[in-house]
Every structure is written in structure tokens, then in C-alpha cells.
Amino acid sequence: MSKRTVYTDYFFDEPAYNTHDGGFIPLEEPKTPQEPLRIPELLKPDEETSTDMYYTVIAQPGEVQLLPGAKTKTWGFNAPFLGKTILFKNGKTIHITLKNELPELTTFHWHGLNVPGPITDGGCHAPVYPGESTQIEFKCHQPAATLWLHAHPCPATAEHVWKGLATEVLVTDDVEAKLPFPRNFGVDDIPVILQDRHFHKDNQLDYIADYDPDGVQGPTPVINGTVNPYFDVTTQRLRLRLLDGANRREWRLHFSDDLKFTQIASDGGILPEPVDFTHLMLTCAERAEIIVDFKGHKPGDVVTLYCDDVPVMHFRIHEFAADNTELPDHLVDIPDPEVTAGAPVHKVVMSGMDEEVMMNGKKFDMQRIDDRQQVGHVEYWDISNTNDMSNGMVHPYHMHGTQFRVVSRNGHAPYPNENGLKDTVGVNPGETVRLKVWFEHLGVYMNHCHIIEHEDGGMMAQFEVYDPENPKTYQLMDMTTLMNAFAKERGVAVKDLYIPGMDM
Ligand code: C2O
Ligand code: CU
Ligand code: CU
């Protein structure tokens, strides 16, 4: 038996939990019958060779039976809601046709993928207009991880994600393939996209009605696009690829009877050492791969996953073969490069709440580059949250184009599960989190709070990764062009266009 510590803490500052926010909407247990958890099936490549993979990713409108009665109108990637799961093999060259079948422009952002910015990365500078398609191509070069794809058309990112434009992206590699993890997709290795929604008349979503500048929430947990899901457990060990895909909600997760589970991966890949928990908090956009061991449970048992005190998913235990696999105490080696001599320390300050949110005292501007870092250099970034400890929020800070290391929290060691590669980190009020950051590709990228309404509302900035030997100029999108396009597509005059995040 392993002697690893079992942590029972959420670690984040309790006074800053979203439950303390005036606008907090608690989850409620759905009253509808339990439904089998939807498993977002793997997207089939159009073609695959020993060196290349070809995909077509389509943003499309659809409708889905989320509740009894009327279907809900939604958006998704190659599916009516959320999407199919997309798999990239490390080392291959990936070619993707991005197709937009929605009535309005959107973008395809590969959250956590190390690719050049700003076009391949798919932020606001890379709109794909309705009825059009574009191509991207990149070499997948990073360790096995659970990443995700979501729309990012600022300042309508939050609305597009709310309608369903989010799905998991899995990177696989030879290192992960040799570890004793469950990896039978859909059977003992499953995506778990944690979201919440509010259903209005006829089971429809109404983003504008639910708008809250501190983040839109709803009372109904929706897991992989399933209300009140159950999952049939047929193996002793189950790997859950958890993604906080909510616009605003923090998920404080624990199982019935405080069943222990083991985190094996964070945002950017496998952790150097597995970490055992009974409780885990995820902030928006964070991922955690966990292994749950149902040893000691018998057919007919039900194990429930809770967020705070609300059941969000039920695991129905069936007959399974005994599995005594023990995880090694060391899983993988991960990079921890030396900071480049003489490098500056970057400062990022997240301030304000509601409409007042800012980054470094400014609102986001697509045409402004706020910071620069030389490609290949390794530099510290100090990320501060100046909200007040008594009524502030945890802001999940995210950077495009990299997987970083978390060095410290207010000078102290980071949380026990932050010793891996990450692209999003929750920053408590009054806290400064020091990151060690490096980039492999050139480009203009975004960094922001991942409460998506904060990002749309301007708690976002841009930086350029540059090479002094190879200076580049970028064609950056501007708000007027995007607003004119949205107005035309929505059939309204620009002055009548209303996207909540635009009042920034
Ligand atoms: Cu999930 Cu700007 O990204
Ligand atoms: Cu991102
Ligand atoms: Cu925020």
C-alpha cells in the first residue's frame, strides 16, 4: 500500500468561494429522472497517416433533449451540443478545416495547446464567418493531456460557450501509454465536462436574461450535456477527465462517504507524482484527471459525486474484475527550466468586480500589446488579485500559448496538485501567484481571467512572444470590424447591437 498523504482540503480561501458572492446561484438537484451520462464520442479523423492527422471541425447549431418536453436549442462542435472529443497524437502534424455553420462569426480556440498565435491559437483575431471555413496546421508537440476547444469571439465568448461551444481535446503520447492508467475511452476513461445552466420557457437557454457581469450561472448541473446523469461502472478503476467548463462556477467536488481519489494529471499533462484527495476544487477552465477506485463496492451500490452538497452525478456499480494495480509514486518527469539570467519579472494585476474588472488597470484592447517575452526565454510572471479578502473572488488566471509552472502563492509552496504543467491557476483575493513561463512559438496571445464574463468584460490583456532575429508584424482584429460583423449577422444596426461584454 502506498503511504501517500490523503488531502481533505479544498485549499482555496473559503471567504472567497463563489458561495459568498451576492449573485451566487446555488446548484439544485434536478427533479427529472436520471439519464445515462452522455459520452462525447471521439471525432473521426478525415484521414490519418503515420505522420499526419486530418480533421474537419464544424461549429453548428442543433437541438438536444436535455429535459423532458421540448428540446433545447444549442450549439456544438460536430454535435448539437458541446462536441465530439478530439484526439491529437503527440509528434504528428495536425491539419484542421474549421467550418462555421452558425448564423454568426465565431472562433476556434485550442485552450492549452502550444501553437502559434494569434491565428492558429484561435482567439479573437481569428474569426471564421458564417458559411465559411479556414484551415490551420500545426505540429502537436507537448505531453499527453486533457485540453479543450472553445469559442473565443470577444466579447461574445461567454455567450458562445454558454450555448455549447466547448469540448475536450486529448493529446496522447508514448509516455502516458506506458503508465498503468485506465484508457479504454468511454468505458473506464471518460470526459466529464462540468457546467451549469438555467432553463427558461420551453426548456430554452436565455443568456441575456441570465447575464451577470461576474459570471453567468444556473441552478442545474449539466454534465457532458446531461441533466441528472448516472454512469454504469464496469471496471474497478475509473479515470475521469474533469473539466470546469462553466462560465463562472467553481466546482468543489467530493464523493459520497468521502471516497478517496487520486489526481494523475493537471491542465497540461500528467503530474510528476499522483496526489490523493477526498475533496477537490476546480476553478473555471482548469482540468484534473482523477482515478477513482471502487474496490470494496459491490454490484448495486451507487457512489455519488457532489459539488458542495448537491449531487451532480451517480456511479452505478456493476460486476467488475478485481484490479490491484498500484500507481507508482513517480509518474513522469516534467520540465522545470532555469529562469533566463537578467530576465524581467512580468506583473499582472487583476482588479475589480462586476463591470469594473481590469487587468493592470486597463480594459482589454485587441489592438494593444501589453507585454512581450522572448521566445525560448524562461521568465517569472507575478499574478496578483487585488480583490478584498472579505468579499472578493478567486480569479482563474489563464495564458494562451504555454503550459507554465506554479512557483509560489504569496511566497509559499503552491497547492499539492499544482506541481505539474498548468495553463490556468486560481488566484485568491490578496494573493500573488508566481509563475515560471516559457514559450515555444511566436505570436500574439491573450492572458485573462477565465470567468468568461470577466474576460469579455475586459479583465484580459495581450502579449507578444517575439524573436529579436525575426521581428514580425501582426494583422490584429479590431472591435469595430467584429461589431459590424455581429450586427450584420444578427440583422440589427450597430447601435442596437447588444452583447453584454461590449459595455466595457
Ligand atoms: Cu480558454 Cu482565452 O481561453
Ligand atoms: Cu486559452
Ligand atoms: Cu475574474
* CATH code, domain carrying 308: 2.60.40.420
Cell of 263: 489526481
286 lies in some domain: yes
Q: Which of 297, 317, 337 is the last residue of a domain?
A: 317
456 lies in some domain: yes
Whether residues 155 and 64 share a domain: the answer is: yes
Whether residues 71 and 149 share a domain: the answer is: yes
Alpha-helical regions (H) of 371-478: 452-456
Whether residues 162 and 31 share a domain: the answer is: yes
Whether residues 44 and 143 share a domain: the answer is: yes
Residue nearest to atom 1 of ligand 1 (CA): 111
Q: Is the CB of 111 under 6 A from ligand 1?
A: yes
Q: Is the CB of 160 under 6 A from ligand 1?
A: no
Going from the Cα of 144 to the center of ligand 3, the distance in angstroms, rounded, reads 28
d(CA 150, CA 47): 23
- Predicted local distance difference test score (pLDDT) of residue 22: 84
Whether residues 208 and 166 share a domain: the answer is: no
Cα torsion angle, 487, 491, 495, 501, sign:
negative
Whether residues 295 and 397 share a domain: the answer is: no
Q: Which of 142, 172, 202 is the last residue of a domain?
A: 172
Whether residues 164 and 58 share a domain: the answer is: yes
d(CA 62, CA 78): 10
- Predicted local distance difference test score (pLDDT) of residue 90: 98
Whether residues 160 and 102 share a domain: the answer is: yes
Q: Which of 317, 333, 366 is the last residue of a domain?
A: 317
155 upstream amide cis, omega within 30 of 0: yes
Whether residues 89 and 43 share a domain: the answer is: yes
Q: Is the CB of 398 under 6 A from ligand 1?
A: yes
177 lies in some domain: no
Sheet containing 302-307: give its strands across.
35-36, 229-233, 310-317, 302-307, 251-255, 280-282
Going from the Cα of 361 to the center of ligand 3, the distance in angstroms, rounded, reads 14
Q: Is the CB of 109 under 6 A from ligand 1?
A: yes
Put simply, whether the predicted model's pTM sits higher than 0.95 gets the answer yes
- Predicted local distance difference test score (pLDDT) of residue 1: 52
Closest ligand 1 atom to Cα of 446: 2
Question: What domain count does the chain have?
Answer: 3
265 lies in some domain: yes
39 lies in some domain: yes
Q: Are the C-beta atoms of residues 443 and 436 closer than 8 Å to each other? A: no
Going from the Cα of 396 to the center of ligand 3, the distance in angstroms, rounded, reads 6
Query: pLDDT tens per residue, the chain (504 residues)?
Result: 568 999 999 999 999 999 988 899 999 999 999 999 999 999 999 999 999 999 999 999 999 999 999 999 999 999 999 999 999 999 999 999 999 999 999 999 999 999 999 999 999 999 999 999 999 999 999 999 999 999 999 999 999 999 999 999 999 999 999 999 999 999 999 999 999 999 999 999 999 999 999 999 999 999 999 999 999 999 999 999 999 999 999 999 999 999 999 999 999 999 999 999 999 999 999 999 999 999 999 999 999 999 999 999 999 999 999 999 999 999 999 999 999 999 999 999 999 999 999 999 999 999 999 999 999 999 999 999 999 977 789 999 999 999 999 999 999 999 999 999 999 999 999 999 999 999 999 999 999 999 999 999 999 999 999 999 999 999 999 999 999 999 999 999 999 999 988 765
Whether residues 201 and 167 share a domain: the answer is: no
Whether residues 239 and 164 share a domain: the answer is: no
Sheet containing 261-266: give its strands across.
6-7, 269-277, 261-266, 287-293, 237-244, 189-197, 220-223, 226-227
Going from the Cα of 449 to the center of ligand 3, the distance in angstroms, rounded, reads 5
Instruction: State residue 485 phi and psi, 5-degree precision.
Output: -65, -45
131 lies in some domain: yes
Closest ligand 1 atom to Cα of 455: 2
d(CA 267, CA 405): 11
Q: Are the C-beta atoms of residues 100 and 131 closer than 8 Å to each other? A: yes
Q: What is the rounded radius of gyration, in angstroms, for the C-alpha atoms of the chain?
A: 21
Burial of 27 (0-12, 13-18, 19+ CB in 10 A): buried
What's the Cα-to-Cα distance from 224 to each of 42, 69, 228, 286, 291, rounded to whole Å? 13, 19, 11, 16, 18
Q: Which domain holds residue 447?
A: 346-468
4 lies in some domain: no
335 lies in some domain: no
Q: Are the C-beta atoms of residues 423 and 268 closer than 8 Å to each other? A: yes
Burial of 329 (0-12, 13-18, 19+ CB in 10 A): exposed
d(CA 195, CA 307): 11
Taking the CA atoms of residue 3, residue 8, residue 13 and residue 14 in that order, the dihedral angle to the nearest 10 degrees is: -170
Beta-carbon count within 10 A of 15 CB: 14
Whether residues 311 and 394 share a domain: the answer is: no
Beta-carbon count within 10 A of 128 CB: 20
Cell of 8: 481533505
Residue nearest to atom 3 of ligand 1 (CA): 111
Going from the Cα of 150 to the center of ligand 1, the distance in angstroms, rounded, reads 8
